[in-house]
Structure formats: C-alpha cells, structure tokens
Amino acid sequence: MIKASKQVYGDKLSKEILANWIVSEHLERFSNATVADVSEAYVGLYSTRPTSWLAVLARNRSLNFSDVIAMETSSDLVRIPGMRRSKFILPLTLSATVFAATRLPLADHEWRLREVGLDLADFKKILPDMCDIAKNKPVQLKTFKDLRGLTSSQIRACTTVATYDGALIRMPPANSWSNRWLYATAPEGLLADENAQLDRGQLKCDIAKHYIENYGPITVDDLAWWLGISKTDARSLMEATDACEILSGMWISKSQLQRFERHLVSADKCSSNVVWFLPAWDPLLMGYAPGSEQRDCLGLNHIGGYDTSGNGRPVVLINDRAVTTWCIEKLGHSRALSMDVKDLSRKERKIIEAEATNWVKRIGLDICTV
C-alpha cells in the first residue's frame, strides 16, 4: 500500500470529475463487452433476472436481446452465492475462487433445515438423491417433490442449502424474465479438493485486488460494504494489496492509477447527451457503500436510487447524472417500461423519451409509458 502523488488532482476530487470517471469506467469501458467480460470484471453480475442481462445491454449498445440471452445462458457461466450471500453469475474459474473465499461451513446453514423440521443428518441422507436426479440435465424444484416423502418447504430448504454448500447450482429457465430457477449438479472445478489447504485470507485479498482494480477509487467503507466484512477486516485487506492512496482515504490500484491520471487531465464534458438505463442491482449501483462520495456525485440518493433495504433501483442517467428511476410493469399479457418524468425539465424529457423508445425495443418490452 503506497501513497500516490496528488499533483494532478490536488487535495480533493470534484464531484464532476469523479462522476465523469465513474461513467467512463463503469459504462463506456464496456461498450463492446460480453456477459462473461462484465461478470469477470465485477467479480460477478447479480444473477437475479432481468439484471443479469440488462446490465450488459445497458453498456453494449451493439448487442440485441437474443445475443445477450444466449450469452447469459452459456454453460461457461455458473450462478453461485458470493459476497454478502448474494447470488452472482461468474465464469467457472473465477467462481471457484469466490466460492472458496466466501463459502460458509455447512453447519451455518442448519437453521434453514430446522425451520422445516430437518437437521444436517437428514440433509446428508437426502443430498445424494438430489444430486443424482439433477446430474444429467437441469431440473425444476418440483422434480424433487416425491423425494423421501419430503414436503415442498423441506425440498426448498434442502435445495437452498445444497446451493450454498456447492453441491447444486442454479440454472436459468427458458423464460428470460423468470427467476424460477432450474437446478443441476455443480460442475467439476467449483469446489476445492477436500484435502486442499485453502488460504481464505489470500483468496479474499485476491478478490479485494480485483474489486479495487475495477471500482477504484474506493474507500475502506466501500470495500467492507462490497465484501460484507467488518471495516477492520477491510482495512487489513486494503493494506495487503498494492493499492495507492490518492487522497485521504481514497484508494486505487497501481495498474489503474496511470489511466486515472490520464483521464483527469483529458476529461471533457460530453457535448452530446448519452442516456443510460441501468437495471436494479446494477454493479455500479451496488459497488459503493451507502453515504459514499461515488453515490453522491452521480446524484443517486437525490433521485431515490435505493429502496429502504439498500437495494439499487433501476435508474436513468443523462451523461454522468442520475435524473430519475424506471421500472417494468405488467399490463395484462404485456410488459411496459414506466418512468416518472414530472420533475424533469422539458429538454431532459425530450432526451429521455427518445432513448426510452429505443430501450424498450432492445429489451423486448411491448409498451413505453412515460
């Protein structure tokens, strides 16, 4: 961990410069990216649909709906619990690292079984049968329904524990809007050898380096939030990386530093108006801690970009400024994009309305209600 020169940016980054950099790194940088590219850079995309594919379409404007769905359902990607017990899409090799670093002991999940009248001994008897059923092709949850006379709630609990422990993985159904997961036996390579001596501290340090490289500049609070660890542990991880402190409490990776400083001296305000439709739980929204300068400089808190649980809501940005939220509503058999524009200027409405029409077509919706 080293101190970096502050001659380029003084003692404090302006909100304008920080916001411009964030859009450059989080959005413009991925203009030609695939689902695998984005999921690897961010150490996982939230697998909840439609976030899993909308986050990529928002960045790569050359992709169409069928392209991104084909990417998102590739067998080269797996869905696992990761940081903060959230479910992420990751390339298999990286998923093994993340899973080894964040996996909890099986005993930590026994409460899920006890809630439905089972215990770990019951689970260990049931698990081989579940894996056998799911080993040849992905199956629906109801496929396990007659297993050993278990109730629906017991099957659901066992399946959940099996995915947290790495015996089963979630698989996407045919409906690209659905989170009614299929389940399959986990691929080889996800779980470390039982006899291997894992250095979980080093694994977490590797993940922290990856995070700093793709989210910097960040603070200790940001790292703690993202990894779901204490601030004390986050500071220890920060000290174990090669991060550079560019301002008091603001850190960036050594490999990112030159790019950052070049951006600061060459960044211009965008002369055209670029509109970004980011989905709920987008990596940009969920990568920084509540109260962070990053959230503030983009105006995410000002427009109500987070719900009461702290989940990022779908937001609209014009260039590097969040201006409103959006959502997808069911209208009979149709899906519609809905957006509140009453607080926007006439110019902003005109800019957004034109792009919303294109966005609706790209993501396969039927109607745009603005």
- Predicted pLDDT at 8: 47
User: Of 247 and 9, which is predicted with more confidence?
Assistant: 247
Q: Is residue 209 assigned to a domain?
A: yes
In a domain, 243, yes or no: yes
**Residue of 366 and 364 predicted with greater confidence:** 364
Q: Quick check: is 254 in a domain?
A: yes
* Cα Rg of the chain, angstroms: 22
Which residues, in sequence order, are CB contacts of 75 under 8 Å at separation 6+? none
Residue 53 included in any domain? no
**Gap between the Cα atoms of 145 and 249, Å rounded:** 53
- What does the pLDDT read at residue 332? 79
Range of the domain at 230: 2-26+199-266
We report the CATH number of the domain holding residue 258 as 1.10.10
Residue 236 lies in a domain: yes
CB atoms closer than 10 angstroms to residue 8: 13
Band of pLDDT at residue 93, cut at 50, 70 and 90? confident
- pLDDT tens-digit map of 7-52: 445 556 788 989 999 999 999 999 999 999 999 999 999 999 999 9
| Whole-number pLDDT of residue 310 | 92
pLDDT of residue 193: 61
- Note the Cα 370 to chain centre separation in Å: 27
- Tell whether 129 is covered by a domain: no
Average pLDDT, the chain: 90
Number of domains in the chain: 1
pLDDT digit string, tens, across residues 178-190: 999 999 999 988 8
> Across the beta sheet with 168-171, what order do the strands follow?
45-46, 87-91, 77-81, 168-171, 182-185, 139-140
Q: How would residue 209 be classed by pLDDT, with cut points 50, 70 and 90?
A: very high
Three-class DSSP category at 250: strand
Q: Is the pLDDT of residue 265 over 70?
A: yes
pLDDT of residue 196: 61
Q: What is the pLDDT of residue 324?
A: 95
Please check whether residue 110 lies inside any domain of the structure.
no
Q: How confident is the model at residue 271 (pLDDT cuts 50, 70, 90)?
A: low
Q: Kindly state whether residue 94 falls inside one of the protein's structural domains.
A: no
